[in-house]
Each structure stands twice: as C-alpha cells, then as structure tokens.
Amino acid sequence: MATQPEFHATHCTRYRYRYSACRRCADACQYDAVALSEEGISINPSACRNCSLCVAVCPTEALAAADLPRIDILKRASGQSALTIACAPSGLKGDEVVPCLGSVDAAMLAHLSSRGVALTLAGTQHCSACAHGENAMRQLELHLEALADLKSAVDGDHWADIAVPASCGGQPSKAEHSAARRHLFRRLVGRGVDRITRPITQDDAPPAPLKAIRFARQFSTAGREVLQGLLDRAGNERQSPLPAHPAIFAAQVEAPRGCTACEACARACPTDALQVRESGVAWELAFEFSRCVGCGVCTEACQPRVLRLAPAMHHWKAPQPVELHARSKQRCDRCDRFFVSPEPADMCLACTGDDEDFASLFG
C-alpha cells in the first residue's frame, strides 16, 4: 500500500534558514499537497497521491518515501546485466516498481548505467494519460538530461544504454528545450536561471538576522554519496566541466571579494560543505565539493550577498576542501584576544559594545 512521504525537518533548508525561498517540493507536486512555512513544509494526506516527485527533487533528502527505497534498489541491481523499472500507475511488471518514473533521480540512473546495467523504464507510454501529469514527464526528462551531462563529463561512452519509449521523448537534446521545460527548470531550482550564475545584490534582499539560522546537526545524503562515488570512479585524466543542473545535486560554490567573515553560510549549510577553520591568528572559509548538494541555502544566508553557485563545476574530483576566503586575525587592544573583522579595528565587537553601553549610561 502506498504511503505518503515522511518529512525530516532538520534536513529542510526552510527549517534551517527561516528566510529560505526553496520551494522545489511544492513546485514538483501536481496536487498542491505541499504547504510551505518557516518550519519547513507540511503534506496534506487527503491531497497527496504518493507519486514521490517531491522526494526526487529535494537535494537535502528532507523527504523520504517507503515506496522509493533508492539505495535498496541499487543494491539489488548490483551484479545484474539488465533491470526493468516500472511505474505503479501503469500496472506493468518490472524488476522494481516505483510510484512514478519521474521519481527515479539522475544519480540512480547514472549509477546503474555506469555499472553496465541495461536499464528499461517501463510505463512511460502511459505518462500522457497518468494522473501525475506533465510534472512527472518533465521531471523524468530533466533526469535523463542530467544523465547525459554526467556521461559527457566523465567520458562515459562505455555506459549501458537506457531504453525509454519514444512516446516519452527519450533523452532530449539541448535544442529540444521548450518554454515549459525552461519554466520547470526555474521552478525546480527555486529561483531564476540567471540567479544561479550571479550573486544576490543588496537591492535583491536585505541581509537577514543571524538568529534566522536554526542550529541542527549536519549530515550527508545517500544520493550525494552515490553521485560522488560515480565521479570518483571516473578514470579519465581529462576532467571536463560538469554543468550546473537542477537534477544534479552538487554545486561549486564561489566567493568573490566582499566576504565579511560572518560565518552565516557555514552555519546554514546542512551538509558541512562550507567549513570555518581557525587557528590562533588565522581564519579561513573552506569548501568541500564532495559534500555539497547544491541546495543554495548558503547563497541565501550570506549577509554581504557575495556567495554564489558557479554555472559549471570544474573541480569535481578535488580530494580535499579548497579555500574560499582567508583572513588574518587582529588583536583587541582592550581584552588582548584575537578576532576576525572585515575592516581594521582596534577592538573586538564585544569590547566595542561595552564602550557604547558605558557611554549610554554615563555620557
């Protein structure tokens, strides 16, 4: 019996950062069953049809569905030469049956194909008549498109083919983008395509208070580990750029000049991809690509609005975290402690605040 997805609040970017504009799950839902709030989301059980499309578009895996055991499917497929995945609404038989073929994400497809598993997606011929609607078809097309990008980046000419009935459109070429698909691209990313490649300016949104960031334990996602395992296995000496794509849950973060060392990005990051490293006299913000899921919450939380996601990933085989920004610490004239400041200063913020409080009381 189908069950509705389970929501894990501490994995959700909307919960971790109250001003997050992420709405991937709501946009993927054909039935308006997902309601957004500052606490994350809620699912209306009477409206949900258990298609699991919301599960497939969440980069932080804040949603999980018992009917879509992705890792279990990959384990069962290990060692097989062929696999048929069928969608439940079609009534067709398959080695694996999923709520919707649109919920089979790009990392799963790439993992199976790279392992030489000849994959057949059964049921796409019923997509046009399915209650899950156009969202399911377009989401599957995005996953197939992301698969093609991954295959190109890692020289995957030896990967096994994926059989998709022609009625679903097969693997679309770059020239086959329709206006509707471009619109879905924007919706699934959670912001316009142009916002991926440029930093948010002060005119776009005022900085949010740091108290808007909720503390929660950081984690890694199973899907990201599957994707990184695929990238790490790529044996080619030439590392081709991997284009940013809404169905590829990874990103390369860039930090041009303007970082104020507020650390909001690292606090908001759910997967510890952004890391603050300190010594007695130095401060550094580092980025670990293998942990980044491309959720973009760091760009939203960035107080000076300088952090951004790159349009392509050039260092997807980097084994160690890379430095984004570094500063030398300054020593406070009053308390003699070292502190980080974007500008030269004689006193740390705590001592500066003490001076202001003293002046307000005694003039």
One digit per residue, pLDDT tens: the chain, 363 residues?
457 899 999 999 999 999 999 999 999 998 999 999 988 999 999 999 999 999 999 999 999 999 889 999 999 998 899 999 999 988 899 999 999 999 999 999 999 999 999 999 998 887 778 888 788 888 999 999 999 999 988 888 889 989 987 555 444 434 344 434 444 444 444 444 333 334 444 445 555 666 899 988 999 999 999 999 998 887 655 568 899 999 999 999 998 788 888 889 999 999 999 999 988 888 899 999 999 999 999 999 998 889 999 999 987 777 789 999 888 888 888 888 777 777 778 887 778 766 655 555 544
Q: Is residue 62 included in any domain, yes or no?
A: no
User: Per the structure block, which two tokens stand in for 88?
Assistant: 């439940």
The residues that bridge with 120 in the sheet, in sequence order, are: 84, 163
Q: How far apart are CA 340 and CA 329, in angstroms?
A: 5
Residue 202: both structure tokens together: 């002060």
Contact 100, 89 (CB under 8 A): yes
Q: Indicate whether 340 belongs to any domain.
A: yes
Residue 211 counted as domain residue: no
Give me the domain span that covers residue 336: 330-362
In whole angstroms, give the CA distance from residue 279 to residue 102: 47
Residue with tokens 């929660």: 216
Number of domains into which the chain is organized:
1
How far lies 336's CA from each of 141, 180, 284, in Å? 59, 60, 21
Whether residue 102 is contained in a domain is answered as: no
Residues 279, 282: Cα–Cα separation, whole Å? 5
pTM, entire model: 0.82
Q: Is residue 291 part of a domain?
A: no
Which amino acid is residue 121, in one-letter code?
A: L
Token pair 């919450």: residue: 297
CB of 119 closer than 8 Å to CB of 112: yes
Strands 118-122, 82-87: pairing is: parallel
Instruction: Answer positive or negative: Cα dihedral of 87, 111, 74, 84.
Output: positive
Is the separation of the CB atoms in 64 and 56 below 8 Å?
Answer: no
How far apart CA 74 and CA 77 sit, in angstroms, is 5
Indicate whether 18 belongs to any domain: no
DSSP state of 129: G
339 occurs within a structural domain: yes
Secondary structure (3-state) at 279: coil
